[in-house]
Structure 1
Amino acid sequence: MLIFHGENIVASRQKLIDKLKRFQGETIRLEGEKINLTQLKQALETQSLFGQEKLVVVENLFSRPTSKAKENFLHYIKENKPPNLVVWERKTIDGRVLVSFKFAQIEKFVVSAIIFKFLDSLSPQNKKNSLFLMHQCLKKDAPEMVFYMLSRQIRNLIIAADLGEKGLERMAPWQKGKFIRQAKNFSLQQLLNFYKKLSEIDWQQKTGRATIPLASQLDLLLASL
């Protein structure tokens, strides 16, 4: 059994893609937040139609809300230790949960600390420093990861600027305070315009319409901050 997790979803996703490319048998993909236990059992326990090896990939199983159903999923996996199961998570799994899965091969994909320093630096008055820090990020992480984290940061700043603490109620108090303080460096319209540009870059990258690499697009975007 394999478990890929961590905040660096670009790296973990690439690891999953590489794993699937190398696998020669039948692959079954399941959405962990929607499936039921019967579906998981059938996927893992039934033989492939053509007698091939079978790999079952479940995404975001650990991200399910706490419930009896989730307990049953995890109990089944711990009891049966399915060797043909790969779990991919879009976030970091609590280490206390993973203690029960020592039989699995677990890989954690972390985001470099410099990215958080870059995100905290964002401000129209701090453009030069933000550009410098972003270039440092790009030496350690893929442009796609920097783009993803930047988009998430701007979304949170928009919520902080528009709704204040009420919009950030699921966050820890220190996180709320940090976003609210940083949001004061921008007007709400500035943040919305910035996010619109991020959306345009995302569309260009996904449709092949971009005329320059993503790293260069990020450069121009930060320069326009």
Structure 2
Amino acid sequence: MKIIILHGDDILKSYERLTKFTKEAKNRCWEVADYNLDSIANQSFFGAERFYILKDYKLLTKKDISNLSKYDGNLIIYNEGNIPALFIKTLPKDIKIEKFELPRLVFKFADSFYPTNANVCLKLLHELSTNEPIELTFFWLTRHLRDLYWAKVGSPNYPDWRLNKLKSQSNKFSDKLLKEIINDLSNIDVKVKTSKANLKDSLDLLIVKKLG
């Protein structure tokens, strides 16, 4: 079985790649299905080429991995985020790995987003906007603020190092302010999609008003 891993922090590009692979498989009249070891084991020798998609690498047991080489077909292991190197080492050596990483500036911008830090945050936003689509920055900011909120009000299932980092940043916000910003981002999204606002200008104004 041919195995391809698609992973990394840039989930937009990794998902775009998955979509491209899936479309190509369908164009070739391959059978596209979610990964299931039983269906793989029972595949017909005379059936169409199989194209399996697995979106949770943790479902692959050691026994599954040892048996994959016995079967025909193609398996895409897709993950929103990085797959641990220790897991990748358990897979056959001839797999293909495609990793999609975000620019480091995206993380610097996200980390700078907190009250009293408006000037630094604006500078990083403008620097980021010269090389990356503002829509991508908005997407990641929205996702990051959501993570900050869940870290503040609960205990999401993140690695300890990430959870501690999120909690540290979220503690710089009041519950009220964090909810306001998330709501403002949602309103900006609606206005931009209905051509009632400019995304970059709206983000600039939000940062000045809420983080100044």
Q: Could you state the TM-score of these two structures normalised by the residue count of structure 2?
A: 0.76
Instruction: Indicate which of 189, 199, 218 corresponds to 2:176.
Output: 189
1:51 corresponds in structure 2 to none
- Helix, strand or coil at the partner of 2:77: strand
Q: CA deviation at 1:95?
A: 1.6
Flag the 1:98–1:171 CA change in 2: closer, same or farther, 3 A.
closer
Q: In 1, are the aligned partners of 2:188 and 2:197 still within 8 Å (CA)?
A: no
What per-residue deviation string (whole Å, max 9, x for no partner) do you get for residues 39-75 of structure 1?
A: 3445796623xxxxx45241413144xxxx6334333
Point out where structure 1 has 5 or more consecutive residues left out of the alignment.
Answer: 49-53
Q: CA deviation at 1:199?
A: 3.4
> Are 1:132 and 2:123 counterparts?
yes
1:71 corresponds in structure 2 to 62
4+ aligned runs moved over 6 Å, structure 1? 43-46
Q: CA deviation at 1:90?
A: 1.2
Cα distance in 2, alignment partners of residues 44 and 140 from structure 1:
49
2:74 corresponds in structure 1 to 84
- Helix, strand or coil at the partner of 2:176: helix
What per-residue deviation string (whole Å, max 9, x for no partner) do you get for residues 3-46 of structure 1?
A: 211111111112223334445223555455xxx32134457966
Residue 165 of structure 2 aligns with an amino acid whose one-letter code is: K
What per-residue deviation string (whole Å, max 9, x for no partner) do you get for residues 130-183 of structure 1?
A: 1221233334444454334323321232234334xxx257431x4444333322
Flag the 1:112–1:82 CA change in 2: closer, same or farther, 3 A.
farther
Cα distance in 1, alignment partners of residues 41 and 198 from structure 2:
43
Flag the 1:105–1:180 CA change in 2: closer, same or farther, 3 A.
closer
Point out where structure 2 has 5 or more consecutive residues left out of the alignment.
Answer: none
Identity %: 24
Flag the 1:170–1:178 CA change in 2: closer, same or farther, 3 A.
closer
Q: Could you state the TM-score of these two structures normalised by the residue count of structure 1?
A: 0.72
Residue 134 of structure 1 aligns with an amino acid whose one-letter code is: L
Cα distance in 2, alignment partners of residues 44 and 106 from structure 1:
28
Kindly report which structure 2 residues correspond to 1:1-225, keeping only aligned pairs within 5 A, or say none. Answer: 1-23=3-25, 24-26=27-29, 28-31=31-34, 36-41=36-41, 47-48=47-48, 54=49, 56-64=51-59, 70-77=61-68, 79-80=69-70, 82=72, 84-99=74-89, 100-163=91-154, 167=155, 170-172=158-160, 174-201=161-188, 209-211=194-196, 215=200, 217-225=202-210
Q: In 2, are the aligned partners of 1:10 and 1:144 still within 8 Å (CA)?
A: no
Cα distance in 2, alignment partners of residues 204 and 72 from structure 1:
51
Q: Say what the alpha-carbon RMSD is for the aligned residues.
A: 3.3
What per-residue deviation string (whole Å, max 9, x for no partner) do you get for residues 97-126 of structure 1?
A: 222332122111112211111111111311
Cα distance in 1, alignment partners of residues 94 and 159 from structure 2:
32
Cα distance in 2, alignment partners of residues 82 and 224 from structure 1:
58
